[in-house]
Chain A
Amino acid sequence: MNKEPIRKIFREFDRVQFADWLWRGLQSFYALPPSDRAMAFDHVGLQIIQQESICAGLALIYEEFVPEPNQLIFRQAIGDVMRKQGNNPNAPESAFSDLIYLLMRIRATESLSALLPAVGNGLIGKRCPDILYETITALKSLAPSTPAHDTARDLIDSINFDEGYLFEATKVLIECEPSRISQIVLDFEPRLSQLRETTYELGGNEWTVFCEAADDWARHILLLGPISSVQELWIKADHSTEQVWLFELLFTNNSIPIDFIHDQLSDKYFIKCCGKKVQLNISDKDYWTRRKLLSESARHETEKWLKDPDDIVNKAVINLDDKPETGEEEIAYTIGSLIGDRLPFIVQQDSSVCPRYQTALM
Chain B
Amino acid sequence: MAIKLPKLKQSELKEWLDQLSYSHEGIIKLINLFLAQAHKFVEQKILCSFICDCISLGAKTAYDTLVHYDVVCRRNDTYFALCRVDHSPLSGSTSAIATTMDSITFHKYIVKRPKTIIKSTLLDKPKSHDATDEKIYRDALAKMTSGKGWPRNNATLGKPFPDPKHVWFTDASHIEAEIKTHANTDTDATKVRDALGLITTKGDTYLLSLQFPSNVLCSISNLRMARPGFADLGNKRYVLYLNKHAENVYRNNWGLTVHLRKLRRVPPEFINGVPERICSPIPLSVVETSLEVKPLGWVVSNRGEEIGIDDDNAFIKRLLGRRNLTAIKQQLIRKNAHKP
Q: List residues of chain A with CB under 8 Å of any chain B CB.
A: 1-2, 34-39, 43, 45-46, 49-57, 60, 63, 94, 97, 101, 104-105, 130, 133-134, 136-137, 140-141, 162-165, 167-168, 195, 198-199, 202, 205-206, 209-210, 212-213, 216, 293
Contact = CB atoms under 8 A, between A and B. Distances in A.
Interface string B98-140: 0001101101110001101111111110010000100100000
Contact of B116 (A51, A56, A206): A206
Contact of A49 (B117, B118, B124, B160): B160
Given A35-B75, A50-B160, A54-B162, A141 B101 contact: no
A212 B144 CA distance: 12
B277 to A, nearest CB: 18
Nearest to A175: B127
Given A46-B70, A133-B113, A53 B118 contact: no
A213 B118 contact: yes
B75 A104 contact: no
A131 to B, nearest CB: 9
Q: A1, A34, A167, A195: which has the most chain B beta carbons within 10 Å? A: A1
B23 interface: yes
A163 B119 CA distance: 9
A206 B116 CA distance: 6
B159 interface: yes
Given A53-B159, A199-B118, 18 more contacts: A34-B74, A39-B67, A46-B67, A52-B105, A53-B108, A53-B161, A54-B161, A54-B162, A56-B102, A101-B108, A137-B123, A141-B127, A164-B114, A164-B118, A168-B119, A168-B120, A293-B132, A293-B135
A85 B325 CA distance: 49
B200 interface: yes
Contacts of B38: none
6 closest Cβ pairs, A-B complex: A35-B74, A34-B163, A53-B161, A164-B119, A35-B75, A38-B70
B104 A105 contact: yes
Contacts of A140: 121, 123
Contacts of A57: 160
Contacts of A35: 71, 74-75
Contacts of A202: 117
B66 interface: yes
A97 to B, nearest CB: 7
Contact of A50 (B117, B122, B200, B202): B200
14 contacts: A36-B74, A36-B75, A49-B160, A53-B102, A53-B108, A53-B109, A63-B202, A140-B121, A140-B123, A141-B124, A141-B127, A168-B119, A206-B118, A209-B120
B284 to A, nearest CB: 16
B40 to A, nearest CB: 28
Nearest to B63: A46
Interface in B153-167: 159-163, 165
Interface string B1-36: 000000000000000000000011100000000000
A136 B105 contact: no
A57 B104 CA distance: 13
B71 A141 contact: no
Interface SS of A by simple majority: helix
Given A36-B71, A52-B159, A53-B160, A164 B104 contact: no
Q: B101, B102, B105, B118: which has the most chain A beta carbons within 10 Å? A: B118
Contacts of B46: none
A101 B118 contact: no
A293 B136 CA distance: 10
A1 B161 contact: no
B309 interface: no
Contact of A38 (B67, B108, B135, B163): B67
A206 B23 contact: no
Contacts of A43: 63
B160 A54 contact: yes
A141 B123 contact: yes
Given A1-B23, A1-B25, A133 B135 contact: no
A332 B40 CA distance: 87
A268 B55 CA distance: 78
A144 to B, nearest CB: 10
Interface string B216-247: 00000000000000000101000000000000
A55 B119 contact: no
A303 B109 CA distance: 42
A50 B199 CA distance: 11
B108 A210 contact: no
B118 A209 contact: yes
Q: A35, A63, A97: which has the most chain B beta carbons within 10 Å? A: A35
B165 to A, nearest CB: 8
A195 B120 CA distance: 14
Contacts of A52: 101-102, 105, 159-161, 200-201
Nearest to A139: B121
Contact of A165 (B70, B74, B121, B124): B121
Nearest to B201: A52
Given A1-B23, A38-B71, A141-B124, A46 B66 contact: yes
A50 B233 contact: yes
A212 B120 contact: yes
A53 B162 contact: yes
B71 A206 contact: no
Contacts of A137: 107, 121-124
Contacts of B163: 34, 37
Contacts of B201: 52
B117 A209 contact: yes
Contact of B119 (A34, A141, A165): A165
Contacts of B162: 53-54, 94
Given A38-B70, A133-B119, A60 B200 contact: yes
Contact of B23 (A2, A167, A205): A2
B205 to A, nearest CB: 9
Contacts of B235: 50
Nearest to A53: B161
Contacts of B109: 53
Contacts of A212: 120
B160 A55 contact: no
A319 B66 CA distance: 79
